[in-house]
Amino acid sequence: MNQDQLKQLVGRAALDYVTPGQIVGVGTGSTVDCFIDALAASGIAVAGAVSSSERSTQRLQKHGIKVLDAADVTGLTVYIDGADEIDGNGFMVKGGGAALTREKIVADLAEKFVCIADASKLVPVLGKFPLPVEIIPMAAAQLMRRFAKLGGEARLRAGVVTDNGGHILDVTGLSITDPLAFEAEVSQWPGVVTVGVFARNKAQVCLLGAAEGVKTLTF
170 with 137, same domain: the answer is yes
**pLDDT for the residue numbered 2:** 86
| Catalytic residue list | 103
29 with 94, same domain: the answer is yes
Sheet of strand 192-195: strand arrangement: 153-156, 167-172, 131-135, 192-195
Enumerate helices (H) and strands (E) in the chain, giving the number of each.
6, 14
Cα–Cα dist 172/8, whole Å: 29
Alpha carbon separation from 17 to 13, 35, 102, 108, 117 (Å, rounded): 8, 11, 21, 17, 15
| This prediction's pTM | 0.95
Render pLDDT for 15-68 as a digit per residue (tens, 0 to 9).
Answer: 999 999 999 999 999 999 999 999 999 999 999 999 999 999 999 999 999 999
Kindly report the CATH number assigned to the domain that includes residue 181: 3.30.70.260
84 with 156, same domain: the answer is no
17 with 93, same domain: the answer is yes
Mean pLDDT of 179-194: 98
Range of the domain at 151: 131-196
Mean pLDDT of 170-187: 98
Render pLDDT for 192-211 as a digit per residue (tens, 0 to 9).
Answer: 999 999 999 999 999 999 98
Mean pLDDT of 136-144: 98
159 with 135, same domain: the answer is yes
